[in-house]
Amino acid sequence: MPASRRPRAHISRPDSSWRVCALLGAVLALVRTSPAQANPGLEGTRHVGMGGASRASSRGTGAMLVNPANLGFSRQFELEPAYQVNIEDNTHGVGFLAMDSLKNERLAIGLGYIATVGGPKVRYQDVTQETQTLRMVHGGHELGLPIGINAVLGWLAFGVRPKFQYTILRFTDANGERHDARKQQLAFGLDLAMSLTFRRYAAISVIGYNLAGPAPPATNLDLTPIVYNPATLDRTRVSPLSDYPRSLAHGLAVFPTGDAGFSFNFDGFYDFTSYRSDDKFTRMVFAGGAEYTIKNLVPLRLGGRWDSRGRGKADDRGYIALGLGFLRGPPKGSVGWDIGVSFSRQVTGPNPETILAVNVGLLLNPDY
């Protein structure tokens, strides 16, 4: 088999595991306020380009973010810088991810650092009834160490993702003093995951996010000591969602031809934190997406999702997303590339959002 072809995922035959998987397309989707992420600034290119529906078929650095059980889905060693932006919220996510599943077919490990930097704005009327704009600072750091274990090769895998996470939402008053608009979070978080594959044609995954260390939502903003009329506060560009919600997700991937580069995906996501104060309401998100890789070189991705947000239908939202990439598998003893860009747009619901992301992956194939 030519060494330049991508390694097929573990759902494929054992002798075809050295073909480099189509991993990263580029992203563009609502990232910070995205419903289907375990990080407030970076969701993963492939996941975003497929509308938030890629958990069961995720692999490589993409699996580091959404499903650590799939770290060993394909045999590869990858280094990847990643960037994405929510244009309306002026929120940026920058990360550097590294993972290795080459040395041991039963164990895959990754290391990732992600920084979130944002400047959302709120508007209000002061005591003189003049409209004022207050720029806030939304920041965060995350360091994660995901581990994937293939318990039964080609069938059953488990994943764990311990992580250190820190987030803030602050503003500066007229005297130059900084204030927290919500309580800052400094905690150790934990994600757990399980994936079950059926030969080469289907996969099911279940993931629990932030089982430890969930962050509170930004439902109520503390703007003390600013004096203003609360009825005039416009905070539409400050998301009420938790940066790290305690949540549960499931995913189904179907591979019609038995090839990991062609899949249909269906995901569900349940957020137990963001609207808990609303009589313990659970936010639900349902997504569908597809990926087709042309000649093992060009992955095309398309997807969409529905986000229930809070109670009632007034704040329900719908999104569409697409992604395009280029990949070149690494010859033995050399390197390959996985480059992409994706776009996501909110098409229904209030306060439409637009997200853009670009990712570059360096695939390594050391000659052992």
Q: Is residue 295 part of a domain?
A: no
Burial of 64 (0-12, 13-18, 19+ CB in 10 A): buried
Q: Is residue 69 part of a domain?
A: yes
Tens digits of residue pLDDT in 299-357: 999 999 999 998 989 999 999 999 998 888 888 888 998 888 899 999 999 989 888 88
Q: Range of 97's domain?
A: 53-244+251-260+348-363
Structure-block tokens of residue 297: 């070189």
Give φ, ψ of 65 to 5 degrees.
-90, -35
Whether the pLDDT of residue 6 is over 80: the answer is: no
Tens digits of residue pLDDT in 19-29: 333 332 332 23
Please choose, from the candidates 271, 221, 201, 266, the residue with its C-alpha nearest in 3D space to the C-alpha of residue 242. 271
Cα–Cα distance, 303 to 110 (Å, whole number): 27
Q: Is residue 26 part of a domain?
A: no
Q: Is residue 320 part of a domain?
A: no
Mean pLDDT in the chain? 87
* pLDDT more than 70, % of the chain: 89
Q: Is residue 342 part of a domain?
A: no
Cα–Cα distance, 213 to 187 (Å, whole number): 5
Cα–Cα distance, 253 to 243 (Å, whole number): 27
Whether the pLDDT of residue 262 is over 90: the answer is: yes
Residues 6+ apart with CB under 8 A from 266: 53, 251, 252, 286, 287, 288
Q: Is residue 95 part of a domain?
A: yes
* Beta strands 178-180 and 147-152, pairing class: unpaired
Domain count, the chain: 1
Q: What is the DSSP string of 43-65?
A: --HHHHHTTT--GGG--HHHHHH
Whether the pLDDT of residue 35 is over 60: the answer is: no
Q: Is residue 289 part of a domain?
A: no
Please choose, from the candidates 331, 168, 334, 326, the residue with its C-alpha nearest in 3D space to the C-alpha of residue 244. 168
pLDDT number for residue 74? 86
Cα–Cα distance, 239 to 219 (Å, whole number): 8
* pLDDT more than 90, % of the chain: 64
pLDDT number for residue 333? 81
Query: Which band of pLDDT confidence, cut at 50, 70 and 90, is reported for residue 75?
Result: confident
Q: Is residue 96 part of a domain?
A: yes
pLDDT number for residue 13? 36
Mean pLDDT, rounded, for 89-109: 92
Count Cα atoms within 13 angstroms, Cβ side, for 82.
Answer: 38
pLDDT number for residue 286? 98
In the beta sheet, which residues pair with residue 343? 356
